[in-house]
Amino acid sequence: MSMVTSNSYLESLLQGQPQLPPSPLAWFNQLRASAVDRAGMLKLPTTRDEDWRFTDISPLAKLSFQPARAVSTLQAPDVERFYLDEAAIRLVFVDGAYMPQFSTQPNKARDLGLTVTDLSSTAVSSHGAVIEPHLGRHAGFQDNLFAALNTAFLHDGALVIVPRNAVVDAPVHVLFIATQPEVASHPRCLLIAESGSAVTIVEDYVTLQEGAYVTNAVTEFVLEGNAQVNHVRIQRDSTQAFHIGHCAVSLAHASRYRSVSVALGARISRYDLNARLAAEGAECAIDGLALISGRQLADTHTCIDHAQPDGISRQLHKCIVDGAAHAVFNGKIMVRPGAQRTDSTQSSRNLLLNAKARVDTKPQLEIFADDVKCAHGATVGQLDIEELFYLKSRGLSELAARNLLTYAFGAEIIDRIPVASLKQRLEQTVFEQTKRS
């Protein structure tokens, strides 16, 4: 792979960083400064790093980036088509910058008993004490260049605080729209679900152009005791784009986190999801679907860390790979000493639609407790010829039969999205995508 001296490359990545306005919060500026320092010391990972063995991101280093320019031409209809009917609250970011004109007014969230705001807003100062223990503390950047870069650019971002025992039915939609080629944006989310609260959040990456750009996102979710969070993450970046995403979830006592992540876009995408079941009786369900074709690469790394007893985790990850695309799944389940009665299942199921398509799937179990139930399995297959024959014997063409079965394979994950309009829209997207291939 091509060697890039980390300094000149980082210089280009850190372009524009010094112009960020300082925050009134000293710790915020401190966090940013230490991330800048750290970014300066870390190197771009290569395929020699175990964690990046299958994912060669050297093409990223060949791209020149500029800071995003302010967009003035964007009209409401450009943005509105991404809106979700069910969402009561919406935060919109364009090329990383917060767009109050497209977002719902903060008082609307307040009426629902929520704090939803942009991280750069002055409102954040008043929540400083709530945010400080969490922002940048769950998605650590000591060993992670991308998280360090994102934190170095910490400015705009979504902040959602769900107060104690608040149950919010309507989803919160956080929409990141890419409109400019050759820019790097650093989307950021922090969600704090206080004890006994319940919320659904949709983290949505979309594009209005087909150029090359970089999305480098970091999301931190904090679930206090008995909190329930549904997290839907949709990555529909341009097929020329690079998407690096990190999500760190911290689960307290008896809290429940359910996530569905869907990766459709990007030339190279990498999503790391780390869920730490940090107290007794926490529960998570983490499902994923990657649907890729052409020369796309989609890499998902998850780590479910059972740190305390009586935790439950469920995971189903599916990849549908067409063309010469390449999917990677690395699913680590960690059961720490003392995390007795952990109950964990993981399943990786993969469908290859082309002889050139490839998948690398690796379960990784590290179990240090003796009274645990852990099951895992992985399958890689093609469409079933008996199912195809059955459909054709009823008059469906070969293509229609293949599309229907491919679609059905993916629908199992999409069906788990708790937002009807989004589910419908994705079903349509998947159906059209499988039709094309």
CA nearest neighbour of 272 among 293, 295, 298: 298
* Interface with another protein, residue 397, by CB under 8 A: yes
Q: Which lies closer to another protein via its Cβ, residue 85 or residue 384? A: 384
Greatest Cα pair distance in the chain: 70
* Interface with another protein, residue 8, by CB under 8 A: no
- For residue 160, the cross-strand partners are 116, 191
Minimum CB distance to another protein, residue 319 (Å): 15
Contact range with another protein by CB under 8 A, out of 32-40, 53-61, 141-149, 408-416? 408-416
Minimum CB distance to another protein, residue 415 (Å): 8
Checking DSSP bridges between strand 343-352 and strand 172-178, what pairing results, if any? unpaired
- For residue 245, the cross-strand partners are 217, 271
* Interface with another protein, residue 408, by CB under 8 A: yes
* Interface with another protein, residue 424, by CB under 8 A: no
Exposure of 196 in the CB half-sphere (CA atoms within 13 A): 4
Contact range with another protein by CB under 8 A, out of 34-42, 118-126, 193-201, 395-403? 395-403
Tokens 């995408």 belong to which residue? 269
Which three-class secondary structure state does DSSP give residue 261? strand
Which one-letter DSSP state was computed for residue 49? S
Q: Which lies closer to another protein via its Cβ, residue 174 or residue 353? A: 353
What is the C-alpha to C-alpha distance for residues 95 and 179, in angstroms, rounded to an integer? 6
Q: Using CB under 8 A as the criterion, what x/- string covers residues 354-393 for binding another protein?
A: -------------------------------xxx-xxxxx
Minimum CB distance to another protein, residue 136 (Å): 41
Q: How many CB atoms lie within 10 A of CB 111?
A: 11
Contact range with another protein by CB under 8 A, out of 14-22, 89-97, 227-235, 399-407? 399-407
* Interface with another protein, residue 411, by CB under 8 A: yes
305: left (phi over 0), alpha (psi -120 to 50) or beta: beta
Report in angstroms the alpha-carbon separations of 251 from 193, 257, 283, 300, 307.
Answer: 10, 8, 8, 21, 10
* Interface with another protein, residue 11, by CB under 8 A: no
Per CB under 8 A, the list member of 290, 409, 417, 433 interacting with another protein is: 409
Q: Which lies closer to another protein via its Cβ, residue 47 or residue 382? A: 382
Decide: 287 and 256 in contact? Cβ < 8 Å.
no
389: left (phi over 0), alpha (psi -120 to 50) or beta: alpha
Q: How many CB atoms lie within 10 A of CB 254?
A: 18
Q: Which lies closer to another protein via its Cβ, residue 87 or residue 430? A: 430
Minimum CB distance to another protein, residue 411 (Å): 5
* Interface with another protein, residue 420, by CB under 8 A: no
CA 393 distance to own-chain centroid: 41
Phi/psi for 131 (5° steps) reads -80, -40
Q: Which helix (H) or strand (E) holds 36?
A: helix 26-41
Q: Which lies closer to another protein via its Cβ, residue 246 or residue 318? A: 318
Minimum CB distance to another protein, residue 392 (Å): 4
Q: Which lies closer to another protein via its Cβ, residue 170 or residue 404? A: 404
* Interface with another protein, residue 398, by CB under 8 A: yes
Which one-letter DSSP state was computed for residue 423? H
What is the C-alpha to C-alpha distance for residues 387 and 391, in angstroms, rounded to an integer? 6
Q: Which lies closer to another protein via its Cβ, residue 394 or residue 436? A: 394
Minimum CB distance to another protein, residue 437 (Å): 18
Query: Cα(first)–Cα(last) distance of the chain, in Å?
Result: 30
User: Binders of another protein: how many residues, by CB under 8 A?
Assistant: 22
Contact range with another protein by CB under 8 A, out of 193-201, 331-339, 374-382, 396-404? 396-404
What is the C-alpha to C-alpha distance for residues 175 and 206, in angstroms, rounded to an integer? 8
Record the tokens describing residue 378, joined without a space. Answer: 């992985």
* Interface with another protein, residue 167, by CB under 8 A: no
Q: Which lies closer to another protein via its Cβ, residue 3 or residue 408? A: 408
In angstroms and rounded to an integer, the radius of gyration of the C-alpha atoms of the chain is 21
Contact range with another protein by CB under 8 A, out of 5-13, 304-312, 403-411, 420-428? 403-411
Minimum CB distance to another protein, residue 314 (Å): 18
Per CB under 8 A, the list member of 404, 416, 418, 429 interacting with another protein is: 404
Given the rule CB under 8 A, which residues bind another protein? 385-387, 389-398, 400-401, 404-405, 407-409, 411-412
